[in-house]
Amino acid sequence: MRCFVAFDLPRPVRNHLAKVTSPLRDRYDIRWVPPEQLHLTVLFAGALEQRGVDALAAAVESYDASPITLSLQPLGVFPPKGIPRVVWSGLTGDVDAVRAAKEAFEVTAAPFDVPPEKRAFQPHVTLGRVKSPFGALALIDELAERSRELKDKPFRATDLTLYASRLTPRGPRYEVLARRALEAPA
């Protein structure tokens, strides 16, 4: 089963990101992530056997679920140089807590042959995947322009979730396998 662990974003934040990027949706060859699927990935585990899924589900359900406060940052692309492949929104705020969650889930997933990410971790929300390099330079300029509309209002991630990702011709569809609400400390 293809799985990942993510922090869920509140609906108003997801809708705001969709609104900010809406003028780009018909102008560029990008497969946009539907607003209801926007999230902050902590660990992409890839294909796992059931015992790996069970271990990650138990880790999600028992995770120290303190609130995580984040803010949207300017839109950008991966890779940072060359032809863009991914459009994203940066995040700031409790990024140390996000990194700690990433490291904890990497430790949980390691016995199931999930290698740690080699690239430096940059908390972000993936907004879309570029399907064609046509207009890439204009896209980068337009993302900078659209970034001015992002609200710099702090928000709290709502849940920590283990998802199954099912690939379809219309893009991935996510199914919740385990979820832990992020609660204020008692």
Say what the alpha-carbon torsion angle 101, 35, 37, 134 is, to the nearest 10 degrees. Answer: -90
pTM for the full model? 0.93
Contact of 84 with 77, CB cutoff 8 Å: yes
Extents of the domains making up the chain:
2-181
Q: What is the mean pLDDT of residues 11-22?
A: 96
Compute the residue count for the chain.
Answer: 186
pLDDT digits (tens, 9 = 90+) for 95-143: 999 999 999 999 999 999 999 888 889 999 999 999 988 887 889 999 9
Q: Which amino acid is at 4?
A: F
Whether the predicted pLDDT of 186 surpasses 60: no
pLDDT band of 184, cuts 50, 70, 90: low
Whether the predicted pLDDT of 185 surpasses 80: no
Which of 3.20.20.100, 3.90.1140.10, 3.30.9.10, 1.10.10.10 is the CATH number of 2-181? 3.90.1140.10
- CA atoms 22, 28, 29, 30: torsion sign: negative
